Amino acid sequence: MKTHNQHTGEFIALMAFLMSLVALAIDAILPAFHAVGASYDIIDENRLQLLVGVLFLGMAIGQLFYGPLSDSIGRKPATYIGLILFIVGALVSAFAPTYEIVLWGRFLQGFGVAGPRTISIALVRDQYSGREMARIMSFVISIFIIMPAIAPALGAGILVFGTWHAIFFLFALLAFVALVWLILRQPETHPQEKRTAFSLVTILQGARFTLGNRYSCGYMIVGGLAFSCLVAYLNTAKLLYADIFQIDELFPLYFGMLALFVGAASIVNGKMVVKYGMRSMMKFALIAMILSSGSFFFYLYFTSGHPSFVLFMVSMASIFFFMGILFGNANAMAMEPVGHIAGIASSIIGAGTTFVSMSLGALVGQFYDQTLLPLIGGYFALALSAYVIMSMIERKDMAV
């Protein structure tokens, strides 16, 4: 239950802002891939995918620490640390003399942004419970969903008036705004008497319990496989739009259009999951994703991997919609058996999901060959694998 006088609307806006830094850090840099490559004479365009992959690596590692850290020192101080690291990482990338230093900055950005991403959920949980918490989170996520749709346009707009370095300056500026806003307007929600000592042993015990539970571990992997599809797209989107469809300036528009289908799926899922249950929604989405990606792959195989742009957009919109249904449900299913260690379990599951998605998404991305075959074939393989794993862990379980 909320215990202070801060307006609910302002709190929702602040939480959405903190969470949106992740999407901003990923999506705003996509239009600058070629500009970054030109600055450092990158010959192999697939190396540019590391601008996204390395950030995910930092975020995966960071998620392991911020949950337990905020339990120990408080929500606000732990978030301060994450935001400051994100700012430093952005400035490192902006002033980097080599591409390798850019990537180190991106890793630091990922490690830093894991803080506000993880702790913002804890801030909501500290103040709300039950249906009220679900209501607040739905508002936060509905705002958060908008960012992937507008971030590429923001990055492209900056490139019209300046260089790619300015995108990283924007990252630092917005994180600084979030930091000041948090300091001045958000009270601490985890008081001293509730804090626990930060301990590696506690983290390892939580990891052992979470990963030892077949439902938590299994749905963590299923969620990671689903998110791998999005990571593979993020890694290759700028390249494939330019190489296959000769689309450059309008890339942010089409990228944003597809991102909205993921958001639409979360809204539809929120209305239907109460009636049909999480497992039924996930099985439906996985089967639909297998069928849509599989049929599109076979079409591509006989057309040299170059469809019409309209067919590409329609096929990707359907795949993204079903993908969006999987995200929230998989995380909820993974968390279901470990509610008594929710803080640490959330960090473990979040990190595990990110590790799986980062690794497999990057692998699919590296097969990019200026056709859609590797991407869509990867979607089919990932969706089929997720369905097989879900079927294995659900053999004797009741529907939820």
Looking at this protein, which amino acid is placed at residue 393? I
Report yes or no: 53 and 235 within 8 Å, Cβ to Cβ: yes
Rg, the chain, Cα only: 20
Instruction: Give dist(CA 278, CA 367) in Å, integer.
Output: 33
Token pair of 260 as six digits: 């909205």
Q: Name the pTM for this structure.
A: 0.82
Same fold, 1-197 and 199-400: yes
Predicted confidence pLDDT, tens digits, the chain (400 residues): 444 445 788 998 999 899 899 999 999 999 999 999 999 999 888 899 999 999 999 999 998 888 888 888 988 999 999 999 999 999 999 999 999 999 999 999 999 999 998 888 778 778 876 557 656 766 776 677 678 888 999 999 999 999 999 999 999 999 999 999 999 999 998 888 888 788 888 778 878 888 999 998 999 999 999 989 988 998 899 899 999 999 988 999 999 899 888 878 877 877 787 788 888 899 999 999 999 999 999 999 988 778 999 999 999 999 999 998 887 788 778 877 876 666 677 788 888 888 899 899 999 999 998 999 999 999 999 999 999 999 998 875 544 4
DSSP 334-377: HHGGGGGGHHHHHHHHHHHHHHHHHHHHHHHHHT--SSSHHHHH
Res 3: pLDDT: 44
Res 130: pLDDT: 57
Res 4: pLDDT: 46
Please report the sign of the dihedral spanned by the C-alpha atoms of residue 22, residue 23, residue 24, residue 28: positive
Report yes or no: 206 and 345 within 8 Å, Cβ to Cβ: yes
Instruction: Give dist(CA 56, CA 234) in Å, integer.
Output: 11
Q: The domain 1-197 is classified under which CATH number: 3.90.110.10, 1.10.3720.10, 2.60.40.1930, 1.20.1250.20?
A: 1.20.1250.20
Count how many residues are written for the chain.
400
Per-domain boundaries in the chain: 1-197, 199-400
Backbone angles phi, psi at 108, to 5 degrees: -65, -40
Res 33: pLDDT: 94
- CATH fold group of domain 199-400: Growth Hormone; Chain: A; (1.20.1250)
- The three-state secondary structure class of 249 is coil
